[in-house]
């Protein structure tokens, strides 16, 4: 018996009847020989961590564009925080922690530079449309490893696709990540907004704090515990009505006071114009694309290729690319 098989037998013994067992995965689009040490979901987690798209998250906006302070979140730190919250819930409910972690680590791989500002622009101008969750799936299926993709399991792909929007994941592990994502970004964005002077602690709605807690740590812990208590020995992941309503009210507060029109978003108009300018320029002059993207135009179409290229950029790479295309270099004579 291999180590992987031992782990799979342990899962069958100790995990909840509602857990997704590694040994019963629906598999990969391209069948592979099993690893002797790792389960399929553990391999998926590792492939995501080792991917280029994952490394690029460290230079992608969460809320604040190119923040100067060392303690503001990036898309990478957000992803790690989502993973930790999701794992805690999964472990407490005896669900598959490896599957949960893989989904959490991969959920934002398709996010654009400059956060949701970049996503809005691509959704607006690309005829094919754009959603970051769909792009995350595209990244792991078609863009990573020079077009080969990561060949992840069905369950991980489904969880990544369904981490946002109306679609519900087919596994409870995927449902956990959807909750964990919201818990993370609401509370950690509050911390960053307070640190940046965009809002103050006193402005937070008192009715929400009374239910959820006064500090970020209290709220995160209480929300996690509430989900665990309301989901134990059930075939669904849920919050109590009181917590769900307070969470939604706090999220709406953040949209009104931080995510839309606040000083934290003062540079978003510039970021949107940058993305828009790059998109139109590259579709008009595809020869400006790197060779690995230019060579895909016949197969994928110019709109898809340009969208893939821009969505994969970090904030600073997008700025540098814009400068190289639109800003004249200084003439130097020695």
Q: What is the pLDDT of residues 299-326, one digit of tens each?
A: 999 999 999 999 999 999 999 999 999 9
Check residue 103 and give its pLDDT: 98
Quick one: pLDDT at residue 287?
97
Where residue 68 falls among pLDDT bands split at 50, 70, 90?
A: low
pLDDT above 90: percentage of residues in the chain: 88
Pairwise CA distance, residues 42 & 96, whole Å: 10
pLDDT at 330: 73
Rounded to an integer, what distance in angstroms lies between the CA atom of residue 236 and that of residue 203?
A: 34
Question: What was the pLDDT predicted at 268?
Answer: 85
What local confidence, expressed as pLDDT, does residue 71 receive? 72
Could you give the CA distance from residue 310 to residue 279 in angstroms, rounded to a whole number?
7
Q: What CA–CA distances, in Å, run from 176 to 34, 100, 101, 233, 294?
A: 27, 7, 10, 14, 39
Confidence of residue 72 (pLDDT cuts 50, 70, 90): confident
Summarised one tens digit per residue, pLDDT across range 136-180 is 999 999 999 999 999 999 999 999 999 999 999 999 999 999 999
Please determine, for residue 334, whether its predicted confidence score (pLDDT) is greater than 70: no
Give the max Cα distance, the chain. Answer: 76
Among 34-43, 61-70, 94-103, 251-260, the range scoring the smallest mean pLDDT is 61-70
Q: What rounded mean pLDDT belongs to the chain?
A: 94
Percent of the chain topping pLDDT 70? 96
- Quickly state the pLDDT bin for 187 (edges 50, 70, 90): very high
Q: List the beta bridge partners of residue 153.
A: 28
Domains located in the chain, CATH noted = 3-265 (1.10.3210.10), 268-319 (no CATH)
More confident residue, 73 or 109: 109
**pLDDT per residue as tens digits for the range 36-51:** 999 999 999 999 999 9
Confidence of residue 98 (pLDDT cuts 50, 70, 90): very high
Whether 9 has a pLDDT exceeding 80, the answer reads: yes
From 24, 49, 52, 4, select the one nearest 173 (Cα to Cα): 24
In this prediction the pTM is: 0.96
**Residue 157: other Cβ atoms inside 10 A:** 24
Least confident stretch, 51-65, 114-128, 214-228, 259-273: 259-273
Residue 73: C-alpha distances to residues 62, 142, 157, 188, 190 (Å): 6, 28, 25, 8, 11
* Rounded CA separation 54/266 (Å): 27
Is the pLDDT score of 267 beyond 90? no
pLDDT of residue 61: 86
For 12-26, how does the pLDDT look when each residue is reduced to its tens digit (9 = 90+)? 999 999 999 999 999
């Amino acid at each position: 018996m291999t180590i992987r098989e031992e782990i799979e037998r342990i899962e069958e013994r100790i995990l909840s009847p509602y857990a997704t067992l590694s040994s019963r995965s629906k598999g990969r689009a391209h069948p592979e020989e099993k690893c002797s040490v790792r389960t399929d979901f553990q391999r998926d987690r590792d492939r995501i961590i080792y991917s280029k798209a994952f490394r690029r998250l460290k230079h992608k906006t969460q809320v604040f564009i190119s923040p100067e302070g060392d303690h503001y979140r990036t898309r990478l730190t957000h992803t790690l925080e989502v993973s930790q919250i999701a794992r805690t819930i999964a472990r407490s409910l005896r669900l598959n922690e490896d599957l949960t972690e893989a989904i959490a680590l991969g959920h934002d791989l398709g996010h654009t530079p400059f956060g949701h500002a970049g996503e809005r622009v691509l959704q607006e101008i690309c005829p094919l449309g754009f959603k970051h969750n769909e792009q995350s799936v595209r990244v792991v299926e078609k863009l990573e490893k020079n077009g080969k993709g990561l060949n992840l399991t069905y369950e991980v792909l489904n969880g990544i696709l369904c981490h946002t929007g109306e679609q519900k994941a087919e596994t409870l592990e995927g449902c956990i990540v959807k909750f964990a994502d919201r818990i993370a970004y609401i509370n950690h964005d509050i911390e960053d907004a307070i640190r940046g002077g965009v809002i103050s602690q006193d402005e937070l709605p008192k009715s929400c704090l009374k239910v959820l807690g006064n500090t970020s740590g209290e709220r995160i812990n209480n929300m996690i515990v509430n989900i665990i208590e309301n989901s134990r020995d059930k075939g669904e992941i849920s919050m109590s009505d009181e917590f769900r309503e307070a969470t939604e009210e706090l999220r709406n507060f953040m949209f009104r006071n931080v995510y839309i029109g606040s000083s934290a978003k003062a540079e978003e108009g510039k970021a949107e114009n940058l993305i828009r300018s790059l998109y139109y320029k590259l579709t008009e002059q595809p020869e400006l694309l790197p060779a690995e993207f230019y060579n895909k135009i016949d197969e994928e179409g110019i709109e898809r290729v340009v969208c893939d290229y821009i969505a994969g950029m970090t904030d600073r790479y997008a700025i540098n690319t814009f400068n190289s295309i639109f800003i004249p270099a200084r003439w130097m004579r020695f």
